[in-house]
Amino acid sequence: MVFILLIFIAFLLGFFLKAKSEDKVLDSYVNKLISIAKSKDIPELITGKTGYAKNIDIKLFYEELCQTNNPVATVLLINGASETMIQWPDQMIRTILKNKFRVIRFDNRGLGQSDWISNWSKYNSYSLTEMANDTLAVANHLNIKKFHIIGYSMGGMIGQIIAINYPEKLLSFTSLMSTAHLFDPEAEKADSKRFGQLKKMIFNYRNSKRDIDKVLNFHFKLDHLFHGTDNHIFNQEKQILKTLYEIKHRNGFNKNAFDQHRKAIKKSGSRYRKLKKIQTPTLIIHGSDDLLIKPSHSEKMASLIHGSQLVIIKGMGHDFNKNFKNQINSIILPHIMMNS
C-alpha cells in the first residue's frame, strides 16, 4: 500500500514538474516576443473621427470610420466582455469599409476611454439592458436612425436586446460566438480545464505586483486561451502592440471590467422566450471548437429566431483567428449588403 502511494506521489510530482517546465518554456517564448514588440514603434490604431456620446451620466468613447461621402448604411460593432473597441479585426473593418459602409465602434462602459464605473459593486451593478442603452446612445448621438449590428460574445447578447426591444432601428443583426443565456443550467458548460486556467490566470494577475511585461504576458496568454484546433495562425506581434497601445495611448486595463461585465450578463438572465419576437434578419456564426461558449448555444438561438441563418465554422474557437477572418467576412458581407 505504501509502495503504491509512493508511486502515486511520484507521478503527481512528475506531472507538476513537467507542467512547470512547460510554463517556463512558454514564458521564455512569450517574453522574447514581448521584447521584440517593445523595440518597435507602436502604430496608431485609432484613425477615424472620435468623440463621446452620453447615456445619462455615462460617457462612451466612439470612433467613426468611413471612406465614402455617401455610405450604403452604417454598421455598429459591439465588442465582448472586458475587451475594448480596438480588438475588432482590422481586416474585417477594412472589408466593410471597402464596400462603402460606415463603421462605428466604441468602448463599452467600464473600459477603454469610456467611463469606468468607480462606484460599482455587486449590489450596485448594471445590466446588459443598460449597456444596450449605451449602444443606442452612441447611435442617437451620431443621428443614425437605422443600422446593422455585429456583436461578438457579450456584444451579441447586447445586440439581441436591441433586436428584441428596438426592431425599428435595425437593418440586420449578426451574432458571433454568443448565447441567449450564458448560465443556462441545461446548456453545455464551458470547458472546465480552460475555464480553470482562466480563473487561475486572473487570480495570479490580480494578486501579484504588475509591471508592463507582466501585463503584456497576461494578455498574450489570455488572447490564446480559447482558440480552436484548425490550423491556427496568430499575428502575435500585432496583438502585443495592441496591448501596448492600450497601455501607452489609452487608459490601460480596468482590472474590474471582467467582474462587472460577467455580473451584467448574469443579472440579465435568459432571453430565450423573447428571441421569438425578433423579426430582424439575423445571422448567427459560431466556431465548432469554441470552448468558452459551446456552439449548442447558437444552435438553440437559431431554433428560436424565426428565419435566422446559422453557420458553424469548423475548427474555430472563441476568437478572431486570422485563419477564419476571410471566411467570416465572406459570410457577413452578403448578409449586410442584402439587408441595406
Label residues 22-48 b or e (16+ Cβ within 10 Å = b): eeeeeeeebeebbeebeeeebeebbee
Q: What is the reported pLDDT for 228?
A: 72
Distance CA 180, CA 111 (A): 23
C-alpha cell at 182: 450564458
Helix axes 212-223, 2-38, angle to 10 degrees: 110
Domains, the chain, in order of start with CATH, read: 49-191+251-338 (3.40.50.1820)
Q: What is the reported pLDDT for 5?
A: 42
Q: What is the reported pLDDT for 160?
A: 98
pLDDT mean values, one per 10 residues, the chain (340 residues): 45 40 57 82 95 97 97 97 93 95 98 95 94 98 98 98 98 98 90 79 71 82 74 70 92 91 96 97 95 95 97 90 81 97
Q: What is the reported pLDDT for 226?
A: 75
DSSP assignment of 173-238, as one string?
Answer: EEEES--S-TT-TTSPPPPHHHHHHHHHHHHHHHTS---HHHHHHHHHHHHTTT--SSS----HHH
C-alpha cell at 135: 449602444
pTM: 0.89
